[in-house]
Amino acid sequence: MLLNNIAYTQVEVKWVYYDNTSEKEKQLLQNSTLKDSLDAVLFVNKSIDNIIQNGYLTAGIDKKKIFPNEHICKVYIGKRYDALYINTSLVSNQILSSRYWKGTSTIKKVLTTDLEKAKYQVIEYFENNGYPFTKVWIDSLHFVDGNIHGNLKINLGDAVVLDTLIVKRDQPLGVHKKFFEAYLGLHKGDDFKQKSVDKAEVIIKETPYLKLTDDIDVVFEYGKAMVEIPLEKRKSSRADGIIGLAPNETADGGVLVTGQILLDLRNPFGTGKRFYIDWKKPDSHSQWFSASYEHPRIFRSQFDVFYNLDMQIQDSTFIKVDNEVGVKRKVSVRSEVDLGVKFESSRLLREISESSADTLNDTQTTTYHIGYRWENLDDPLAPRKGFSIKSRISAGYRNVIFNPSFDQSIYEGIPEVSSIIKWHLDASYYFQINRWMDGLLRLNASQMINDHLYQNELYRLGGFRSLRGFNEGEFFVDRYGVLTIEPRIGIGGGSYLFVFSDIAYIGNNNETDLPIGFGAGLSMETKSGIFSLAYALGKTNSMPISTDLAKIHFGFIGVF
């Protein structure tokens, strides 16, 4: 590389070829004018590297004349080779397991178009095994039977271990140091792995109670790596209250007041734990209660455990209690898998007639599930761009508890023990239309599969968080799919106006319906939380649109 005679005036680079160079080969290099001699030298070197990467392995500059305003380079392009045969005897076959290195012997065939990728694959392997300064090159090019051969050379550089996590902050983060190391998977004394640092950056971006203020930096010194992480604490816990107003469809008329109180505590003790409580009053005589607990990196492992409790009291008819416990683990930078077991119990609260036994009955169900989540959002709390998908499939057995006081013939054809399958999918896509308008597309779908399901076992659909324009839990269904389309207009900060349409397909046994909810609303961000207001209308196959049945939801989410 020639760096002498550098003058900071415009320099033209011209290429001169040998007589046997074809016109097609001459098109590989273009004359160009650069702002100074330094840029001209870099341009020449990059141009030669590019044609070498395109298979002209013997290409190079034979002569170079440098003038104040002009660089004239006589270039030899040579023959194009489709492949290079490389002696890899100094490297284990395990390292060369990618698709770029072809062959089982120590002489590997590499396509010239894949040469840089093949070299980078080797570099990446050693970068992630304690050698971040690895250099790889091909040496001793020579010809054998008309093919070009070379030797793979590697300089590992110094071995590096992870020494210190340096958290750069202006105020306390409320996170314990040992938990933080286990949470990120960065432990003192481990071999330095660049992919572990990259993974840690993604984990932090997905963590709602922390925020990166700049890129993560790594400082190397005397075989040790110090990882500098600039962070600030973020408000992520919330207390949520929602009140719903709807016409009372009972004989008394008037207004039906529904409500919800939610408390979501994230990282309350500095170890990433989460406590969640949700109480709902969907109508005058019913109550729903949910609670969950998440314990991340249990025993400083890479596993998280969780417990969920769901309870429904439907007026004086039945009570349904679900208990679920499970474990989850990240399987890639942006995805995780969870496994668990769920115990469901549904009991009647009053005596029923034999004629009602076909729709209501005591049951107990045990299912085992596997779930998968993949997420790539710009913000875990208030996303505006990105995609997330959550899926789950579960299977198990279901016990029907026959009422001994009934004529047992009413249970004919209904097995006491049967199998049951359930699946769930929740996919959301957040997209930006322009600088002041974005949108949300969401598909939320579930199904439970069994030959005979009772009403007190079914999914409940309807309400502000599932199908707007309808009463909370209005529909009892064994399958549903809801497509949400929601354009949003930003009005400053995190506040926005929105219109929405929830287009649903629901079914129970052989009965199906196509309810649609639509409306508009406002979400306004304040210093202490988020105020929301929405007006919604709904229609089904049997119920036309009516403003008399409009639903109004308003609430406040306190963030702390």
Helix orientation angle between 194-206 and 115-127, rounded to the nearest 10 degrees: 80
Name the residue type at position 86. I
Q: Where in the chain are the domains?
A: 11-76, 83-155, 161-233, 238-559
Rounded to whole angstroms, how far apart are CA atoms 205 and 2? 44
CA contacts within 13 A on the Cβ side of 297:
17
How much is the pLDDT for 381? 87
> Tokens standing for 451?
């030959």
> What mean pLDDT do residues 54-69 have?
90
Structure-model confidence comparison of residues 234 and 555, the more confident one? 234
Assigned CATH topology for domain 161-233: Ubiquitin-like (UB roll) (3.10.20)
Rounded to whole angstroms, how far apart are CA atoms 456 and 417? 17
- The answer to whether the 11-76 and 238-559 domains have the same CATH topology is no
CB atoms within 10 A of CB 160: 21
Closest CA to 308 of 340, 351, 266, 263: 340
> Following DSSP, what letter does each residue of 254-269 receive, concatenated?
SEEEEEEEEEEEESTT
CA torsion, points 125, 129, 133, 134, in degrees to nearest 10? -40
Task: Look up the pTM and report it.
Answer: 0.81
What would be the CATH architecture of the domain defined by 11-76? Roll (3.10)
Assigned CATH topology for domain 238-559: Porin (2.40.160)
Q: Do 300 and 182 meet the contact criterion of CB atoms below 8 Å apart?
A: yes
Sheet of strand 11-17: strand arrangement: 32-34, 11-17, 70-76, 60-67
Closest CA to 437 of 385, 376, 398, 379: 385
Q: Do 425 and 329 meet the contact criterion of CB atoms below 8 Å apart?
A: no
What is the per-residue burial (b if ≥16 Cβ within 10 Å, else e) of 313-335?
bbeebbbbebebebebebeeebe
Rounded to whole angstroms, how far apart are CA atoms 229 and 227? 6
Q: What is the mean pLDDT of the chain?
A: 91
> Tokens standing for 59?
């290409």
Rounded to whole angstroms, how far apart are CA atoms 513 and 290? 28
Position 529 pLDDT exceeds 90: no
Q: What residues contact residue 554 under an 8 Å CB cut-off, 6+ apart? A: 242, 243, 531, 532, 533, 534
Rounded to whole angstroms, how far apart are CA atoms 152 and 141? 10
Determine the Cα angle at 544 with ends 538 and 546, to 5°: 65
Sheet of strand 135-144: strand arrangement: 107-111, 83-87, 147-155, 135-144
> For tokens 């273009």, what's the residue?
30
Ramachandran category for residue 66: left, alpha or beta (phi over 0 → left; psi -120 to 50 → alpha): beta
105-131 per-position pLDDT tens digit? 899 999 988 999 999 999 999 999 999
Rounded to whole angstroms, how far apart are CA atoms 367 and 419? 9
Closest CA to 470 of 534, 522, 532, 556: 534
- What is each CA distance from 113 to 58, 60, 302, 519, in whole angstroms? 14, 18, 39, 55
For CA atoms 472, 474, 479, 481, the dihedral sign is negative
**Cα 311 off chain centre by:** 29
Beta partners for 434?
437
376-420 per-position pLDDT tens digit? 999 998 899 999 999 999 999 999 999 888 888 888 889 999 999
Q: Residue 41: which pLDDT band, with cuts at 50, 70 and 90? A: very high
State residue 144 phi and psi, 5-degree precision.
-135, 115
Q: Residue 256: which pLDDT band, with cuts at 50, 70 and 90? A: low
Determine the Cα angle at 324 with ends 320 and 329, to 5°: 155
> For tokens 């416990």, what's the residue?
325
> For tokens 């309400």, what's the residue?
463
> What mean pLDDT do residues 209-235 have?
93
- Looking at the chain, the whole-number percentage of residues with pLDDT higher than 90 is 69
> Tokens standing for 369?
């599930």
The full length of the chain comes to 560
Q: Do 158 and 151 meet the contact criterion of CB atoms below 8 Å apart?
A: no
Listed range (3-12, 40-49, 325-334, 414-423) with the worst mean pLDDT: 3-12
Q: Do 341 and 363 meet the contact criterion of CB atoms below 8 Å apart?
A: no
Q: Is 111 helix (H, G, I), strand (E, B) or coil?
A: strand
Listed range (8-12, 304-308, 377-381, 476-480) with the worst mean pLDDT: 8-12
Q: Residue 245: which pLDDT band, with cuts at 50, 70 and 90? A: low
CATH number 3.40.50.300 given to 83-155: no
